[in-house]
Amino acid sequence: MMQVQLKDGSVRELPENASAMELAKQISGSLARQACAARINGELKDMTTTLTPGAQVEILTFNDEEGRDVFWHSSAHILAQAVKRVFPDAKPTIGPPIENGFFYDFADLTVTEEDFEKLEAEIQKIVQADFKPVRLEYETTDQALAVFGDNPFKKEIIEKLEEGLSAYQQGEFVDLCRGPHLPNTKMVEGFKILKTSGAYWRGDAKNPQLTRIYAISFPDRKQLRAYLHQLEEAKKRDHRILGRKLDLFSFQKEGPGMPFIHPKGMVIWNALLDFWRSLHREDDYVEIKTPAMLSCELWKTSGHWDNYRENMYTSEIEEKVFAIKPMNCPGGMLFYKENQFSYRDLPRRVAEVGNVHRHEMSGALSGMFRVRSFHQDDAHIFMKPADIKNEILGVLRLADKIYSQFDLPYHLELSTRPEKSIGADEDWELTTEGLRAALIESGREFKVNEGDGAFYGPKIDFHIRDAIGRTWQCGTIQLDMSLPMRFELEYIAEDGKPKRPIMLHRALFGSIERFFGILVEHYAGKFPLWLSPVQIRLLPVAERHHDFAAQLGKTLKAAGLRAEVDLSNESVNKKVRNAQVDQVNYILVLGDKEMEENSYMVRTRDNQVHPNIGWDQLVLCLTEESSSRASNSLLK
RNA sequence: GCCCUUAUAGCUCAGUGGUAGAGCGCAUCCUUGGUAAGGAUGAGGUCGCCGGUUCAAGCCCGGCUAAGGGCUCCA
């Protein structure tokens, strides 16, 4: 007999040479059925692994991140086995687990969605065959090459690894693999191929393109169904679909990646910017507007011409070359140089909501999330070295006000000096520590990405998490040591001598277009009142109530509310439905009763009914809800 | 940019080589209706664009344009 220790510190007695699976069985039958792999003395191993006396053992299931990775990686092998059966010429390359599921990349394979059914049928056969993956180990590179040498991708991997080579076999299928793997294939009850795409070998466009198949699997068919359901739900929030349904924006083939914002979208846009401007006024920002197009000489000075030219739209007129701005900063530099500043004038906070154009690769475009024409809520802060910490703190506070307005949780990341960078060591030290000190003083947690800063300075990024759990990099604070130098910015210091200011770029929404798209999905089109394109719709019951409704509509508009009166020749039921489908916040049906009683029944788009509300009370309540930018209805 | 997929009425989508369809929306009329779809009639399409195959192309082939998924996760 021998003893092993479990994660919780308890000790188990087992026969000599017992495997991890036998341990799991001793603990409980259900654990043994769910066990994906074991962590033995800190290393991930197969359940078949023989335990040694005194070993520390943890049994991992699908509920553990690492267990899940093993589950999905084994699923990838099953997928590859099925692909080999259906397409014998396909050459498997790699097949790792990812955040949601896994993929496998193949060379010499073309699949379409019509093949999915065939592949899934084959996968079911493999699952039902209940293969027990067996680990094979190779002593030498040559041994491994004898098995996999005809696959150039596996060959590359083998030659790179040289030792510790292993493979797993299930039935006729052998795949080079580090492991570990599931004890059997029958555990994979729910399996679904999701999509296929091209992917470059090792992620590099210079390498051959492979065919990638994405899939997901679960130990339980119910979990698969729930996951697929969740995907469907997320699809319903898709800002591209809601944007069309709610008539917020559109794209035209004449302007790929260049959104048209419709009147209802502009209501949201303007509400966002009103909010943004009010906060910036409080924080003593001034706002400017610089030209969309400027001479290429400017872009040569800023460095964009050398580094960014292929992404810039250019135009030649009267033999002079101009470029549409991909960033606002160079224009902001010219503005700074308009005046001579004293140290007393700093920090100077200059904001600009600038429309920038960047020629993104055609395949990268995606709704409002990745566009070629967008607006940055930019600001450039010019300051003395001593101002850094306070200015960063100010921006952190401002960002917090903005994100918390939308109930968007976020986290911060600090990126430090990359290998390729400009500027003196002491400048990097000064600026990076300024950022760090401000982050620490703000009391917020942050992650550090060493070497991930821009070549011209360190930065802080804001990553927000939306209602479906996805994270987005929105805000950014970037210290820039390059532009003040290139543009020879100065201020006059206390000693009367010119000094170079420190400059930072910052954006909080990031791209307004993208933030807009995120909000559409975050709220699933159900905007809070202050953002909502149509806040209230009045539905007269019959024609004799039209004048009454129009009159009330006028009162609401005069109170600053966005009201519509539905005079269409439709039934009341239909009008209510239309208003709810249009995500109108409040719906009022107006008939004889309302004309007589001056008391109203207010219905929301979610079918909440608030009875017996007086007109003045209603107007007061809605104006308060809207102007205070409340997240939830104030009606009781 | 590259790989795969898609493009038919304003929108969502059927239509596998023989003169173009549905639902919603829109228009007109009937209905004047009380809280999620009242009824009838009608208009609306060079089937994304260019070329090819064919007696005949929305459908097959090629090119272009646009859209969607992906190209970060290293056996």
Q: Tell me the three state secondary structure of residue A461.
A: strand
Judge contact between A243 and A250, C-beta under 8 A.
yes
pLDDT at A162 over 70: no
- For residue A180, name the pLDDT band (cuts at 50, 70, 90): very high
Q: In the 8-state DSSP scheme, what is residue A140? A: S
- Give CA–CA dist A586/A590, Å, rounded: 13
State what percent of residues in chain A have pLDDT above 70: 100
Instruction: Indicate the helix (H) or strand (E) that contains A617.
Output: helix A615-627
Is the Cβ atom of A536 within 7 Å of strand B at any atom? Answer: no
- Give CA–CA dist A169/A160, Å, rounded: 22
A224 by Cβ neighbours in 10 Å (0-12 / 13-18 / 19+) ranks as middle
Distance, CA of A449 to C1' of B49, in Å: 48
- Give CA–CA dist A253/A248, Å, rounded: 17
Provide the angle, in degrees to the nearest 10, between the axes of the packed helices A263-282 and A388-405. 140
Place of tokens 């050459």: A91
- Give CA–CA dist A496/A178, Å, rounded: 67
- Give CA–CA dist A585/A626, Å, rounded: 11
> Which residues 267-296 of A interface with strand B at a CB distance below 7 A?
none
- The larger pLDDT score, comparing residue A320 to residue A1, is at A320
> Which residues 167-186 of A interface with strand B at a CB distance below 7 A?
167, 175-178
pLDDT at A222 over 70: yes
Place of tokens 């000489």: A297
Residues with Cβ within 8 Å of residue A357, at least 6 apart in sequence: A292, A312, A313, A324, A325, A326, A372, A373
What's the alpha-carbon Rg for chain A, to the nearest Å?
Answer: 31
ipTM of the complex: 0.91
Q: Which nucleotide is nearest to A545 (CA to C1')?
A: B32
> Which residues 132-161 of A interface with strand B at a CB distance below 7 A?
157-158, 161
Judge contact between A345 and A382, C-beta under 8 A.
no
- Give CA–CA dist A358/A292, Å, rounded: 12
State what percent of residues in chain A have pLDDT above 90: 69
The residues of A annotated as belonging to the active site are 329, 358, 376, 378, 380, 459, 505
Of the CA atoms within 13 Å of residue A552, those in its CB half-sphere come to: 27
pLDDT at A422: 82
CA A127 to chain centroid, in Å, comes to 34
| Per-residue CA distances from A283 to A348, A475, A528 (Å) | 11, 17, 25
Q: Average pLDDT of A545-556?
A: 96
pTM of the predicted model as reported, rounded to 2 decimal places? 0.89
Query: Residue A95: which of A217, A253, A220 has the closest Cα?
Result: A217
Query: Residue A167: which of A146, A138, A129 has the closest Cα?
Result: A138
- The larger pLDDT score, comparing residue A193 to residue A469, is at A193
Give per-residue burial for A495-524: e unless 16+ CB within 10 Å, then b. Answer: eeeebebbbbbbbbbbbbbbbbbbbbbbbb
Distance, CA of A203 to C1' of B72, in Å: 8
Distance, CA of A196 to C1' of B3, in Å: 9
Q: H helices of A354-501, where?
A: 388-405, 425-442, 483-486
- Give CA–CA dist A420/A418, Å, rounded: 5
- Give CA–CA dist A17/A235, Å, rounded: 51
Paired tokens of A136: 């094979």
pLDDT at A158 over 80: yes
pLDDT at A164 over 80: no
pLDDT tens by residue, A485-509: 999 999 999 999 999 999 999 999 9
pLDDT tens by residue, A372-384: 999 999 999 999 9
Judge contact between A102 and A218, C-beta under 8 A.
no
Paired tokens of A46: 């197969």
Lowest mean pLDDT among A140-144, A513-517, A528-532: A140-144
Distance, CA of A354 to C1' of B9, in Å: 39
Place of tokens 């699908």: A62
Q: Tell me the three state secondary structure of residue A73.
A: helix
Is the Cβ atom of A110 within 7 Å of strand B at any atom? Answer: yes
- Give CA–CA dist A493/A113, Å, rounded: 67
Q: In the 8-state DSSP scheme, what is residue A200? A: E
Is the Cβ atom of A526 within 7 Å of strand B at any atom? Answer: no
Place of tokens 């006024």: A281
Q: Which nucleotide is nearest to A253 (CA to C1')?
A: B66
What are residue A504's DSSP bridge partners? A381, A479
| Per-residue CA distances from A477 to A99, A165, A415 (Å) | 28, 46, 10
Distance, CA of A252 to C1' of B48, in Å: 12
Mean pLDDT of chain A: 92
Query: Residue A70: which of A26, A35, A23 has the closest Cα?
Result: A35
pLDDT tens by residue, A131-140: 999 999 888 8
What is the side-by-side order of every strand in the sheet holding A491-492?
A341-342, A491-492, A498-499
